[in-house]
Chain A
Amino acid sequence: MISDEQQDQATLYVLGLLEPHEAAAFESELNANAELRDIARELREAAGSIALTAPLRTPPASLKQRIMGEIAKTTKDRTIVPLRRPSFDWVPWAIAAGLAVFCGLLAVDRVRLERQLANIRTVDPLMHTTFYTLAPSAPAPADAKATVAWQPGSQSGVIRISNLPAPEPGKDYQLWAVDAEHKDPISAGVVRVDKNGVAQIRFKPVEKAEHVKAFAISLEREGGVPKKEGPILLVGTA
């Protein structure tokens, strides 16, 4: 069953009215929900048909020639073979040799820098940390916010939430990692706020998340769910 809220998000998504982070979160929801995909398709078709209400005009014939010319050019550009100039045959080889030496120097330098970076990382844990700022989306209060400090190496993080009122009885907030390698968001556990709407919690996703694009908080059944069901209240990228 698709809620009105999900349909609203689908409408805004189809019309390109969502913010980039909202669109990313909605796309992960779409991937996981066939019914929602059907709704989005229906909405796209409805939006497409509205174009027919514009007074019908025909573009000038010269425009087709212009466009056909441009695509012919891009096709030709793709297949062009560079002309050889025999008298300068040595030039590419000289450039290649120079580049090879340069690349060698860069490689040596890179190894040196990587060693330095590794040394710094051993003494400064913040070097391993990526920060995500989560912004509210309806029905969360406009001043609700959260920050996630995520350490991919240890697959753990800390979330701090503020201004998020406690959910109604029988419900819980649940944290999700949206990972590029996973079709569905990965649960990172239930998060409970205090009476002031504040929480600071350590978490660890239930599956390995190596390419986290975003974190999101949704409203779920009490105790949490294995796969996201409820509306997203906060979402954000790094």
Chain B
Amino acid sequence: MADVTATAQQMADREMIARVGDGDQSAFGALYDRLSGPLYSLALKMLGDPSDAQDALQEVFVQIWSRAGTYNPEKSSVFSWAVLLTRSRAIDRLRARDRRQRVVAGSTPDEAKVAETTNASMVESAADTAEKSDEAARVRYVLNNLPSEQRQAIDLAFFGHLTHHEIAAQLGQPLGTVKARIRRGLLRLREQLRT
């Protein structure tokens, strides 16, 4: 099933990750070029600090390098695998931050710091940016058309570092309701993106 539904980009990613698994540094460089933008954007949105996001991204790519051989195309696309690795690293950092009792930035980026760093580094090929923007616009459109309670639950579950119990407490809803909202929202998102 995974093979049938894979897009050309997903096939290219699989080819690259297979070469990375064989220790091919040039394939790793190409994979970095393809994934670093969205992964960095995710880390930055979650962590709110460019320096922290860069450290997280470094950990993720070192992990990709060392674990490429364990990637399983039956479980997910390379992109989703890398996204979930990044999210997991960012959550680890947020929890460590909580433990150190520093100021918790939550899921709201520190816009001043973000702007300062990214003004100098927003260099991408126009075609690449356009392609990512198209995809992003589509995902945003679908998310915006979900019922607001599903969108809110997904946002907290994905970008926050809350457990499902904490999300339920924050929304003042029973646990079962929150689980169902996240599940329905994600499945609907997937279904809409496939059409």
Write the residues of chain A forming the contact surface with B, with a CB cutoff of 8 angstroms. Answer: 4, 7-8, 10-12, 14-17, 37-38, 40-61, 63-64, 66-68, 70-72, 74-75, 138
Contacts and interface: CB of A to CB of B under 8 A. Distances in A.
B42 to A, nearest CB: 4
Contacts of A68: 25, 28-29, 32
Contacts of A58: 36-37, 40, 118, 121-124
B121 A59 contact: yes
A76 to B, nearest CB: 11
A4 B177 CA distance: 12
Given A45-B77, A47-B83, A47-B158, A55 B120 contact: no
Interface residues of B, number: 72
Contacts of B81: 44, 48
B182 to A, nearest CB: 5
B170 interface: no
A17 B1 CA distance: 26
A207 B143 CA distance: 48
Interface of B: 1-2, 23, 25, 28-29, 32-33, 36-42, 44-45, 53-54, 57-58, 61-62, 65-66, 74-77, 79-81, 83-84, 86-88, 91, 109, 114, 117-118, 120-124, 129, 132-133, 135-136, 139-140, 143, 154, 157-159, 163-164, 175-176, 179-180, 182-183, 186-187, 189-190, 193
A8 B2 CA distance: 22
Contacts of B182: 11-12, 15
Top 4 closest pairs, chain A to chain B, by CB: A48-B80, A46-B190, A54-B45, A52-B136
A41 B75 contact: yes
B179 A57 contact: no
Given A54-B38, A74-B65, 16 more contacts: A7-B183, A16-B84, A41-B75, A46-B193, A47-B186, A48-B84, A50-B139, A56-B136, A57-B37, A57-B41, A57-B121, A59-B57, A61-B123, A63-B57, A63-B58, A64-B29
A43 B186 contact: yes
Nearest to A71: B65
Contact of B83 (A7, A38, A48, A55): A48
Given A58-B40, A59-B121, A71-B28, A46 B74 contact: no
Contacts of B180: 4, 8
The interface residues of chain B, by DSSP majority, are classed as helix
B38 A15 contact: no
A116 to B, nearest CB: 42
Contacts of A52: 38, 132, 135-136, 139-140
Contacts of A15: 157-158, 182
A72 B23 CA distance: 10
Given A4-B183, A50-B154, A74-B66, A57 B84 contact: no
Contact of A75 (B23, B36, B77, B154): B23
Contacts of A75: 23, 25
A40 to B, nearest CB: 8
A217 B183 CA distance: 24
B164 A56 contact: no
Contact of A67 (B58, B74, B80): B58
Contacts of A49: 80, 135, 139, 189-190, 193
